[in-house]
């Protein structure tokens, strides 16, 4: 299983640009260890703590980083509870977030994240958490569902899709498979509407359910606040987001901190992948990297060097 790390060169360059040496790094979204292994390899003096709530990913990453001995520390849990997980190891020189799902989660039908593979309607990143996508889809009212699709998927056709789901439930019973949900969305929306949607007609509904099941936006706000508390003065917080809801939270919190004179936004505009990276890795196309330096100097001197385009 491969997960091609997104904006990796830009992340490593930003970490190298620091004035102080890099000794303690917190990777809040370890995934398959793409960033972590690259950091361990590039900075021989660094130790990395890697958090993930997905124990399957954690095991793969731990195996990949096993050659680095006690420089790597895997931690199972949700980064929204960062202080409880790694507070004793603080302060960190750099704290990273690479948001969303990994390829492992996305391509395995059994995890239920994919609208292209049949599987159970699950979508939990942490398999021990109680709420699944099937719970939401089968127990939510028409209004609840429309609200979720609109709020977390910015789906323009949220209401007809929610109506289609409730009608299906009344007629045929539970919806437990991803393929059934895709079929309902396809049969609810007229073909010209589906053509106008651009991309797969179920994409936004799946994004919305995933965000709701994993409470991703609340976790992100708590995670970023936790990161600021655990980051050394002069240290950096780096966040890669993949859709506007995530990016808005990162942008607004960084700006709020700068206005409160708690540090400096290093990326007035987000860093985005080069055309070459987007061609090589289609999943990188929507990525945006924002960087915040905690405390320290208010000069934004490194910004131009970090900007790719």
Ligand X SMILES: C[S@@+](CC[C@H](N)C(=O)[O-])C[C@H]1O[C@@H](n2cnc3c(N)ncnc32)[C@H](O)[C@@H]1O
Binding site for ligand X (CB under 6 A): 3, 5, 29, 31-35, 51-54, 57, 78-80, 98, 100-102, 125, 219
Question: Closest CB to ligand X among 41 and 299?
Answer: 41
Question: Closest CB to ligand X among 137 and 224?
Answer: 224
Question: Closest CB to ligand X among 59 and 193?
Answer: 59
Question: Closest CB to ligand X among 100 and 164?
Answer: 100
Residue 266's nearest CA partner among 218, 226, 223, 304 is 304
Distance of closest approach, residue 232 Cβ to ligand X, in angstroms: 22
DSSP label at 120? B
Distance of closest approach, residue 80 Cβ to ligand X, in angstroms: 6
Distance of closest approach, residue 75 Cβ to ligand X, in angstroms: 9
Distance of closest approach, residue 20 Cβ to ligand X, in angstroms: 23
Structure tokens at 86: 């790694």
Query: Distance between CA atoms of 49 and 47, rounded to whole angstroms?
Result: 7
Query: Distance between CA atoms of 200 and 194, rounded to whole angstroms?
Result: 8
Question: Closest CB to ligand X among 78 and 207?
Answer: 78
Distance of closest approach, residue 93 Cβ to ligand X, in angstroms: 18
Question: Closest CB to ligand X among 100 and 140?
Answer: 100
Distances (CA, A) of 283 to 105, 275, 300: 14, 12, 30
Question: Closest CB to ligand X among 103 and 116?
Answer: 103
User: If DSSP codes are grouped into helix, strand and coil, which group holds residue 96?
Assistant: strand
Distances (CA, A) of 16 to 39, 45, 46, 242, 305: 10, 12, 12, 24, 12
Residue reference for tokens 């690479």: 98
Distance of closest approach, residue 31 Cβ to ligand X, in angstroms: 2
User: If DSSP codes are grouped into helix, strand and coil, which group holds residue 28?
Assistant: coil
Distance of closest approach, residue 100 Cβ to ligand X, in angstroms: 5
Whether 266 contacts 292, CB under 8 Å:
yes
Query: Distance between CA atoms of 238 and 223, rounded to whole angstroms?
Result: 12
Residue reference for tokens 């929306």: 189
């Amino acid at each position: 299983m491969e997960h091609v790390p997104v904006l990796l060169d830009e992340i490593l360059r930003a970490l190298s640009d620091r004035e102080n040496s890099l000794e303690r790094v917190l990777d809040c979204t370890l995934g398959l260890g793409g960033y972590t292994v690259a950091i361990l390899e590039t900075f021989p003096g660094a130790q990395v703590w890697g958090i993930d709530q997905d124990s399957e990913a954690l095991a793969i990453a731990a195996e990949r980083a096993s050659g680095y001995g006690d420089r790597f520390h895997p931690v199972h849990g949700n980064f929204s509870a960062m202080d409880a997980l790694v507070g004793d190891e603080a302060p960190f020189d750099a704290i990273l977030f690479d948001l969303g799902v990994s390829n492992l989660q996305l391509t395995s039908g059994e995890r239920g994240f994919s609208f292209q593979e049949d599987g159970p309607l699950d979508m939990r990143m942490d398999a021990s958490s109680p709420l699944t996508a099937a719970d939401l889809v089968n127990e939510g009212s028409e209004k609840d569902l429309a609200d979720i699709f609109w709020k977390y998927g910015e789906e323009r056709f949220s209401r007809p899709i929610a109506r289609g789901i409730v009608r299906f439930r009344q007629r045929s019973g539970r919806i437990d498979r991803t393929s059934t949900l895709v079929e309902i969305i396809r049969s609810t929306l007229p073909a010209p509407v589906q053509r106008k949607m651009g991309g797969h007609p179920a994409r936004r509904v799946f994004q919305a359910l995933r965000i709701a099941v994993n409470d991703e936006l609340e976790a992100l706000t708590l995670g970023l606040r936790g990161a600021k508390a655990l980051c050394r003065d002069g240290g950096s917080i780096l966040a890669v987001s993949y859709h506007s809801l995530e990016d808005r939270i990162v942008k607004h919190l960084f700006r709020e901190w700068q206005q409160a004179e708690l540090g400096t936004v290093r990326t007035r505009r987000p860093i985005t992948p080069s055309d070459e990276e987007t061609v090589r890795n289609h999943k990188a196309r929507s990525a945006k990297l924002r960087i915040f330096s905690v405390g320290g100097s208010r000069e934004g001197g490194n910004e131009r060097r970090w900007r790719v385009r």
